[in-house]
């Protein structure tokens, strides 16, 4: 706007409007009707007096006949000016159309022999425009600090296709929406759309669902509790709670879980919640007990199984074993070696060169994490794996001995023997931990046999000859630690899942099952059946399943190809004839034993609510995390050839290294 135009606009406002609030300079109050126009532009102020428009109400005018005469004269003047302006615009458009028509007729009159040359020129122009657009897009990414993979985002590809279609349809200009619109109405609308879509895509009416939950602190050190919904088709983020000014004890956690169960019923989420998994903190254990024993909750949620996280339990077991004096000393020695090569650049360069020569690749030295005891094993494994390269490094001509140098440790055969002993001790627990680290129920049928194998392995550990024997006291404590932890976490559903898995069931191995495991499967059938009659039928069908008789007599049911897609798929395909037992198995094999999904969800929270976005409101953070995580879930489930996850349980421990 020119200086003269600004002057006229200011005179117009002073003549017909007043400023009602000095703190809001863009608000203007009409002198004739008293209406306050908030954040009004010059156009809106004129339209108000002229007689209104699509987004501005007309001024009714002042009271009094004399004042009305003056006001109508002003309105007539404004209307004439508006009509003149519209007429000038129409004439300008007409001239523009005539020039465009002249250009077209001139183009049509061109010699047809030049068409090939023109096409070449057009193609060349397209290449130039494409190169300019590429450079501008690159500048945008560099300026915003975006990672390179953003260019391959499928939603961006969809946007570009829609934009091209819109241009072809006649949209000549487009401006991106404001950040207020993107973070407000558009975010709310997309959140509601995806919530409906992901539930319909992931859950069916007859599905058994597992809720997994975990606690965290966000960028502002505020408490956060997340809730994930797991089904046989995948895991989605459901909601997050940001408790403030409350004591997060077992009563509060039980109340929050009760609210989540109730909200799922109110939202009519397809499926039935059959289980809930939390971590193994004492307060969580008390909350689970409250939901199971308190009459206020038990009556409504008696059908829900509450259990602790298997993965967290395995990590606590690793911590128990790693805290044994002999084991702790060996692990600290391994940490010293790893830490030295992490903190000394020259030593690390020598090691990388020698790793490349010895193994054809390089492995960076790790350090134990603060929250995962399994990372101590990772450090020990790295030292053992790199042992020959480490010995070559400390004897290399370029090596410099220092006071903190681990040279004596690396050259000690006794140290190497101790490393191997502790690595072998922790290896089976680490292997089970790796197998259990999934988001779904794929590992449920294998919890019981794998833990029995771990206990047997540790009991017989000192019967194997090794250069460095594990001290008897440490061996006894390790065996006791496994037994005690398993006693804490064991649930009948684990042994029931093992016994109902067709891949591990034979008529002969049933004879070796102890009475406790037999009772477990009976208790699960009684608990998961709709009535005592159904439980009795399911027990009869279990006998046929064990002996491979009745509806389970067909040899095709027991070939490896039949169960390669997992036990739940097997029961869906071959077990529906035994309806009562099938319903029990459907729930058993839908049980998710770990809260890994809830813990992994914190990575999404950390990515969305980063240091650069520390002021992001909690309710917006929740919606953005919901969209970010569930977008990826929806894309993976809509791809052709999608199959429900199946665990390769036959992997040897060495393959998990």
Instruction: Kindly report, residue by residue over 326-340, the tens digit of the pLDDT.
Output: 999 999 999 999 999
Q: Which residue has the tokens 């042994």?
A: 495
**pLDDT value of residue 656:** 41
Which among 198, 278, 196, 272 has a CA at the least distance from the CA of 234? 198
Estimate to the nearest angstrom the gap between the alpha carbon of 615 and the chain centroid.
Answer: 21
Residue 322, token pair as written in the block: 């790693």
User: pTM for this one?
Assistant: 0.72
**Is pLDDT larger for residue 482 or for residue 71?**
482
Lowest mean pLDDT among 249-253, 371-375, 551-555, 649-653: 649-653
Residue 548, token pair as written in the block: 């491979």
Percent of the chain whose predicted confidence (pLDDT) is above 90: 32
How far is it, in rounded angstroms, from Cα 414 to Cα 418?
Answer: 6
**pLDDT value of residue 654:** 45
Helices (H), 268-373: 282-293, 295-301, 310-322, 325-343, 345-359
**pLDDT value of residue 78:** 79
Whether the pLDDT of residue 245 is over 80: the answer is no
Q: Which helix (H) or strand (E) holds 306?
A: strand 305-308
**pLDDT value of residue 109:** 64
How far is it, in rounded angstroms, from Cα 343 to Cα 436?
Answer: 33
* Cα distances (Å, whole numbers) of residue 355 to 335, 340, 370, 372, 657: 19, 16, 28, 27, 17
Produce one character per residue of 150-165: b if its CB has 16 or more CB atoms within 10 Å, e if not: eeeeeeeeeeeeeeee
How far is it, in rounded angstroms, from Cα 472 to Cα 30?
Answer: 93
**pLDDT value of residue 371:** 58
Mean pLDDT of 297-306: 89
Instruction: Tell me the pLDDT tens digit for each residue of 501-533.
Output: 988 877 666 667 778 888 999 999 999 998 999
Give the CA-trace dihedral at 529, 535, 540, 542, to 10 degrees.
40
Whether the pLDDT of residue 2 is over 50: the answer is yes
Provide φ and ψ at 565, rounded to 5°.
-95, 10
- Cross-strand pairs, 229: 211, 236
Mean pLDDT of 460-464: 91
Give the CA-trace dihedral at 478, 482, 483, 485, to 10 degrees.
130
Produce one character per residue of 576-596: b if its CB has 16 or more CB atoms within 10 Å, e if not: eebebbbbbbbbbbbbbbbbb
- Cross-strand pairs, 214: 226
Q: Which residue has the tokens 């703190």?
A: 23
Q: Classify 213 as helix, strand or coil.
A: strand
* Cα distances (Å, whole numbers) of residue 400 to 198, 408, 410: 59, 13, 14
* Cα distances (Å, whole numbers) of residue 651 to 443, 540, 606: 13, 34, 33
**Is pLDDT larger for residue 351 or for residue 133?**
351
Q: Classify 136 as helix, strand or coil.
A: helix
Q: What is the DSSP string of 505-519?
A: --TTGGGG--HHHHH
**pLDDT value of residue 132:** 84
How far is it, in rounded angstroms, from Cα 597 to Cα 181?
Answer: 31
Which one-letter DSSP state was computed for residue 444? G
Q: Which residue has the tokens 């077209």?
A: 104
How far is it, in rounded angstroms, from Cα 633 to Cα 238?
Answer: 13
Mean pLDDT of 368-384: 82
**pLDDT value of residue 220:** 87
Residues 6+ apart with CB under 8 A from 231: 202, 203, 204, 207, 208, 209, 210, 271, 590
Whether the pLDDT of residue 197 is over 60: the answer is yes
pLDDT band at 653 (very low <50, low <70, confident <90, very high): very low
pLDDT band at 536 (very low <50, low <70, confident <90, very high): very high
Mean pLDDT of 637-642: 59
Lowest mean pLDDT among 33-42, 116-125, 214-223, 610-619: 116-125
Helix axes 447-459, 472-489, angle to 10 degrees: 160
Instruction: Tell me the pLDDT tens digit for each residue of 88-144.
Output: 888 888 888 888 888 877 777 665 556 655 566 666 767 788 888 888 888 888 888
**pLDDT value of residue 651:** 44
How far is it, in rounded angstroms, from Cα 276 to Cα 290?
Answer: 13
Q: Are 194 and 633 in contact (CB under 8 A)?
A: no
Whether the pLDDT of residue 597 is over 60: the answer is yes
Q: Which residue has the tokens 């494994």?
A: 381
Give the CA-trace dihedral at 628, 201, 583, 254, to 10 degrees.
40
Vertex 376, ends 375 and 381: CA angle to 5°? 95
Query: Average pLDDT over the chain, rounded to whole?
Result: 85
**pLDDT value of residue 655:** 39
Whether the pLDDT of residue 213 is over 90: the answer is yes
The CATH number for 187-308, chosen from 2.40.50, 1.10.3910, 3.30.420, 3.10.450, is 3.30.420
Mean pLDDT of 291-313: 89
Q: Which residue has the tokens 């956060």?
A: 224
Mean pLDDT of 11-26: 79
Mean pLDDT of 282-296: 90
| Residues recorded for the chain | 657
Give the CA-trace dihedral at 155, 156, 158, 161, to 10 degrees.
180
Residue ranges matching CATH 3.30.420 in the chain: 187-308
**pLDDT value of residue 276:** 93
């Amino acid at each position: 706007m020119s200086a003269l135009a600004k002057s006229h606009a200011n005179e117009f406002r002073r003549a017909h409007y007043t400023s009602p609030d000095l703190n809001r300079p863009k608000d203007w109050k009409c002198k004739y009707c008293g209406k306050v126009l908030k954040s009004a532009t010059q156009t809106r102020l004129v339209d108000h007096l002229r007689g209104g428009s699509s987004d501005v109400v007309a001024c009714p005018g002042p009271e009094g006949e004399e004042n009305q005469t003056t006001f109508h004269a002003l309105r007539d003047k404004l209307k004439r000016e508006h009509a003149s302006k519209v007429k000038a615009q129409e004439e300008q458009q007409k001239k523009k159309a005539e020039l465009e028509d002249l250009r077209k007729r001139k183009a049509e009159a061109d010699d047809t022999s030049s068409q090939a040359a023109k096409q070449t020129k057009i193609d060349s122009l397209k290449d130039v425009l494409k190169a300019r657009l590429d450079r501008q897009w690159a500048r945008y990414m560099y300026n915003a600090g975006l990672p390179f993979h953003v260019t391959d985002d499928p939603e961006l590809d969809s946007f570009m296709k829609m934009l091209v279609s819109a241009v072809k349809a006649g949209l000549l200009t487009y401006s991106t929406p404001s950040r207020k619109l993107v973070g407000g109405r558009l975010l709310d609308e997309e959140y509601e759309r995806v919530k409906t879509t992901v539930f319909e895509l992931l859950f069916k009416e007859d599905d058994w669902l597992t809720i997994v939950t975990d606690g965290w602190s966000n960028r502002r050190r505020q408490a956060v509790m997340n809730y994930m919904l797991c089904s046989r088709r995948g895991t989605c983020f459901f909601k997050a709670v940001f408790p403030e000014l409350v004591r997060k004890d077992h009563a509060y956690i039980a109340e929050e879980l009760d609210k989540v169960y109730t909200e799922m019923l109110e939202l009519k989420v397809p499926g039935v919640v059959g289980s809930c998994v939390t971590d193994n903190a004492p307060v969580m254990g008390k909350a689970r007990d409250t939901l199971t024993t308190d009459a206020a909750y038990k009556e409504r949620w008696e059908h829900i199984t509450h259990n602790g996280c298997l993965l967290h339990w395995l990590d606590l077991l690793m911590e128990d074993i790693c805290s044994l004096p002999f084991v702790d000393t060996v692990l600290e020695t391994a940490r010293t070696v790893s830490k030295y090569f992490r903190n000394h650049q020259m030593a690390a360069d020598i090691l990388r060169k020698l790793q490349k020569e010895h193994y054809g690749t390089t492995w960076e030295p790790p350090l134990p994490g603060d929250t995962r005891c399994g990372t101590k094993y990772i450090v020990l494994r790295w030292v053992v794996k790199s042992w020959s390269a480490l010995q070559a490094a400390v004897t290399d001509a370029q090596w410099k001995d220092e006071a903190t140098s681990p040279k004596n440790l690396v050259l000690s055969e006794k140290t190497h023997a101790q490393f191997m002993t502790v690595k072998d001790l922790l290896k089976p627990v680490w292997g089970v931990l790796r197998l259990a680290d999934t988001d779904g129920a794929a590992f449920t049928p294998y919890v019981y046999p794998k833990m029995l194998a771990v206990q047997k392995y540790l009991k017989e550990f000192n019967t194997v000859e090794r250069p460095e024997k594990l001290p008897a006291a440490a061996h006894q404590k390790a065996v006791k630690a496994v037994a005690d932890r398993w006693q804490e976490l064991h649930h009948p559903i684990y042994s029931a899942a093992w016994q109902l898995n067709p891949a591990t069931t034979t008529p002969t191995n049933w004879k070796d099952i102890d009475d406790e495991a037999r009772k477990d499967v009976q208790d699960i059938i009684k608990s998961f059946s709709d009535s005592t009659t159904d439980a009795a039928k399911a027990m009869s069908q279990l006998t046929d399943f064990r002996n491979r008789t009745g509806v389970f007599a067909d040899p095709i049911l027991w070939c490896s190809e039949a169960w390669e897609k997992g036990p739940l798929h097997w029961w869906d395909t071959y077990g529906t004839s035994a309806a009562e037992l099938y319903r029990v198995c459907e729930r058993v094999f839908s049980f998710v034993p770990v809260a890994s999904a809830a813990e992994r969800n914190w990575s999404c929270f950390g990515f969305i609510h980063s240091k650069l976005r520390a002021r992001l409101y909690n309710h917006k953070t929740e919606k953005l995390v919901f969209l970010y995580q569930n977008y990826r879930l929806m894309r993976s489930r809509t791809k052709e050839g999608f199959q429900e996850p199946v665990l390769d349980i036959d992997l040897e421990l060495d393959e998990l290294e």
